Amino acid sequence: MKKRANPYNTGIAAEYFILSQLYRMGIEAYVSQGNKKAIDIRIIKENGDSISVDVKAVRDYSSFIVNNIAERKNHFIVFVAYNKKIEKLKTFPEIFIVPSYNINSIVEKYKKERRILKNGLTKNNYKDRWDLLS
């Protein structure tokens, strides 16, 4: 019997993947530690200003739960979709970068949950928008 995937591990993998990509871009960034944090990554710009990043990850590919996302200045949400290939280390996940002030315009409501659908991220051109963080 296959062991059930741990969603905490998926989130940690995504945070460090994003941190690695930021370092590759020459961006000074730091990951926050802990399980109940409001900000996953802090970016320090050359002028001393900072950007906060919340990373949301899914092993599959359909939707991301965003119940705790709020609009804040200089705050971005990075969505990481592993598309059922998290174990395939040669396959990169899909990355979508969204300013927090745009989240409410793409939220879908399902019962008591607020979700972002991957097709909403794609059609609004948020895929690979690394320029928003640099």
Taking only the tens place, the pLDDT of each residue in 68-107 is 898 999 999 999 999 999 999 999 999 999 999 999 999 9
**What per-residue confidence (pLDDT) applies to 8?**
78
- Residue 9: strand pairing partners: none
Asked whether the predicted pLDDT for residue 58 surpasses 60, the reply is: yes
In a domain, 1, yes or no: no
In a domain, 110, yes or no: yes
* CATH code for the domain in which residue 13 is found: 3.40.1350.10
Higher-confidence position of 3 and 105: 105
In a domain, 91, yes or no: yes
In a domain, 2, yes or no: no
Percentage of the residues of the chain whose pLDDT score is greater than 90: 78
Overall average pLDDT of the 8-29 stretch? 94
Percentage of the residues of the chain whose pLDDT score is greater than 70: 93
In a domain, 13, yes or no: yes
**What per-residue confidence (pLDDT) applies to 1?**
47
The values of phi and psi at residue 25, to 5°, are -85, -5
In a domain, 25, yes or no: yes
pTM: 0.91
Asked whether the predicted pLDDT for residue 6 surpasses 90, the reply is: no
Structural domain of residue 66, as residue ranges? 7-133
In a domain, 30, yes or no: yes
**3-class secondary structure per residue, the chain:** CCCCCCHHHHHHHHHHHHHHHHHHCCCEEEECCCCCCCCCEEEECCCCCEEEEEEEEECCCCEEECCCCCCCCCEEEEEEECCCCCCCCCCCCEEEEEEHHHHHHCEEEECCEEEEEHHHHHHCCCECCHHHHC
∠6-8-131 over CA atoms, to 5°? 125
**What per-residue confidence (pLDDT) applies to 37?**
73
Our count of domains for the chain comes to 1
Overall average pLDDT of the 104-128 stretch? 93
Q: Which residues contact 92 (CB under 8 A, 6 or more apart)?
A: none
In a domain, 57, yes or no: yes
